[in-house]
Amino acid sequence: MKKTAALLALPLATLALIAGCGGDDSSSDSSGTNGSNEAAQPAQQSGGATADQAGSGGNVLELQADPSGALAYEETSLTAEKPGKVQIDFTNDSPIGHDVVIEKDGQEVARSSVITGSSEVVSFDAKAGDYTFYCSVPGHREAGMEGTLTVK
């Protein structure tokens, strides 16, 4: 009886394999449908990742000039959490005009206007590494209006 069962099982297994192979054709149709569904979901996820990059997540930095009028920034060290778009919200509430210029390896990559009693947003596409920022109003950088921006 066991032999008979084994003999029966083999053809059944073969049938199952054949059915499985035959099933591949029809299941490839359905998996194609599934595949397009799966493709749509990552597209939505990457859309969310793009929103994160544009949004927040440690790449929006605050930089303020000394509000009392000293030739100084309140921050001399800024850190962005990742490469990509870096946004600097630069504020100068003092009566002395200041700007902020961002350089990498001596090359200017971004610059604000010279502003007084207002704020301005400066953004640029950053790579990992160290950037320098400073005020380009004559004498201000020499007086100490400079700092380092690190992009992780």
Residues in the site for Cu ion, rule: CB under 5 A? 98, 135, 137, 140, 145
CB of 39 to Cu ion, least distance (A): 52
For the chain, list the strands marked E by DSSP: 60-64, 77-80, 84-92, 101-104, 107-111, 118-126, 129-134, 146-151
Give 59 or 140: the residue with its C-beta nearer to Cu ion. 140
Residue 111 token pair: 């610059």
For 25-75, list the strands marked E by DSSP: 60-64
**Residue 65 DSSP SS3:** strand
CB of 100 to Cu ion, least distance (A): 9
CB of 72 to Cu ion, least distance (A): 9
Give 109 or 114: the residue with its C-beta nearer to Cu ion. 114
CB of 137 to Cu ion, least distance (A): 4
**Residue 90 DSSP SS3:** strand
Give 83 or 97: the residue with its C-beta nearer to Cu ion. 97
Instruction: Tell me the C-alpha distance between 70 and 55, whole Å.
Output: 32
Give 90 or 140: the residue with its C-beta nearer to Cu ion. 140
Count CB-CB contacts under 10 A for residue 132: 15
